Amino acid sequence: MEQHYPDWATSPLMRDYYANEWGKPVHGEDELYGLFCLELFQAGLKWESVLKRRAALTTAFADFSIEEVARFDAARIDLLCQNAAIIRNRMKITACVHNAQLLAEWHQAGKYFSPFLWAYNDGQPERLVPAEDGSLPATTPKATALAKEMKKAGFAFAGPKVVFSLLCAAGIVNGRLD
């Protein structure tokens, strides 16, 4: 069966990401946190730029270990801002560290990111039918409401587009063409 690709999967790297990762259900805490970080790094950039730097970002952010990143201090943030292999946006780097600290506090209180995100659709992927050209909306009313809830909870860089992109990447919203 021939693989169909959305309009944004224009390069071999993007097609491989779509075919093998994007939209497949993710439940792990660190994995969801990692996707959140990547999505917030993507804000204002092309996704392919993030994918090209993903290995370096993963290394720089301790394999997106919430507990490890939560311990990053100002000196570590300064070092990350000098790392030419990653996206060196101080606001985005600081947001990733802040969000890890918030999630570490959640974990200490017995609350977890995965059930919080998956509650968006009562634990089941929501089927979103892409347009004929494979495009998806930039966000949905439900994703906008979740973004507001995340901001209220203290998350940084949790705007409606970032949150919707996270939901799609993690398979919580299923916008796949197959």
Count helices and strands (H / E) in the chain. Answer: 9, 2
Tokens (6 digits) for 44: 């204002």
- Active site (annotated) includes residue 106: no
Tokens 């093998």 correspond to what residue? Answer: 20
- Active site (annotated) includes residue 8: no
Helix (H) or strand (E) holding 173: strand 173-174
- Which of 29, 33, 39, 120 is catalytic? The answer is 39
- Which of 17, 22, 33, 118 is catalytic? The answer is 17
Q: Which of 114, 138, 115, 119 minimizes the C-alpha distance to 128?
A: 138
Name residues whose C-beta falls within 8 Å of residue 103's C-beta, 6 or more positions apart in sequence: 29, 33, 66, 70, 113
Whole-angstrom distance, CA of residue 88 vs CA of residue 9? 25
Helix (H) or strand (E) holding 39: helix 29-42
- Active site (annotated) includes residue 2: no
- Which of 18, 47, 118, 120 is catalytic? The answer is 47
Tokens 């779509």 correspond to what residue? Answer: 18
Query: Could you give the residue numbers annotated as active site?
Result: 17, 39, 47
